[in-house]
Structure formats: structure tokens, C-alpha cells
Amino acid sequence: METLLGLVIGIGLSAACGFRVFVPLLGISIATMTGYLMLSPGFQWIGSWPAFVTFSTATILEMAAYYIPWLDHVMDMITTPAAVVAGAMVTASMIGEMNPLLRWSLAIIAGGGTAGLVQAGTVMLRGASSATTGGIGNFLVSTGEMIGSILTTLLALMIPVLCLFLVAFLLFFIIWRAMRPKHKHAV
């Protein structure tokens, strides 16, 4: 049961990585340092002071960069693969004692996949915002992503089952939106 709960928490945190890479890592660091969360063996470094300082600095820089109009697109290119890696890492850090092959397979597929899909959804949303508002609306998208990452991190740590259902709905919506046929309007 502990492994399943760890996987559920990891998937929620992975979704948060899809919104912002470093917010969930900072959340895990704080939760570990306060004794609220126990990490899997080999991941205790996330709850150290150097990690806390690093994740705090990276979170501030990442959030600020998304508010610079031309830099937000560059950040999407950088953070897409970083989100997948972070999603796999946070999921692996939540799964208790398990065969390493199974742990990392679950982490990469469930964690990395979730983070990648959420990140892809935010990239599509930012692209649509840029196309329709000339980039002016990206401020709102960035704010929504930041709020989404913070709330998803908190929900994953405090109410993981609810977070899992919300993440499942979000992933379904992203996949449905990406796969629906594009309608051409008659001129």
C-alpha cells in the first residue's frame, strides 16, 4: 500500500513538474526538511539545505523567466525535456523499496510521461496565446502555470488521491484537445 501511495504522490508531483520544473522539487525539499515526507533511499539529498537553496533559487529564476515575452518560448524548449526528467525523478523519490528496474520503469513511464503531457499542454496553450494575442496573453498563461504547479504540489503532498483524479482529468483533456480534428472555417 505504501508503494502505491508513493506512486500516486509521485504522479501528482510529476504533473506539477509539467507546469513548473522546480516548484515540486522545492515542495518536496520543504516537506522533507520539516519531517512531513520521507523520501526513498538515495533521494534524501533533496531534503538538504544545499538542495533547498538551489531549488528556491531555481524556482524564482524559472518563474521570472516566464514573464519575459521572448524568453518564455526559449524556456518551453528547455523545460520540456527537464520536466520529463524531473517528473521521473520525483516519482522515483516517492516509491519505496522496490526492484530498481521496476522503480525506474514506473518513474519514467508514469512520472516522466505525466510531466511530459502536462508540459505539452502548456506549450500548446502558450502557442495559442501567442498566436491570438501576439504574446500579450502569455502573462496570464504563465500565472496560471505557476498557480497550477503550486496547487498541484500541495494537493499531491496533502490529498494525493484527489490530486490523482484531477491529474487524470487534466491528462484526458490535454490528449482529447490535441487529438480532436481541426475544423476549417469557410471564408
pTM of the model: 0.90
pLDDT of residue 76: 80
pLDDT of residue 186: 52
Q: What is the mean pLDDT of each run of 10 residues along the chain (187 residues)?
A: 89 96 98 95 95 97 86 84 96 91 95 95 87 84 93 97 94 86 61
Q: Alpha-carbon torsion 62, 88, 46, 163, what sign?
A: positive
Q: CA nearest 143: which of 61, 1, 20, 27?
A: 20
pLDDT of residue 185: 56
pLDDT of residue 35: 95
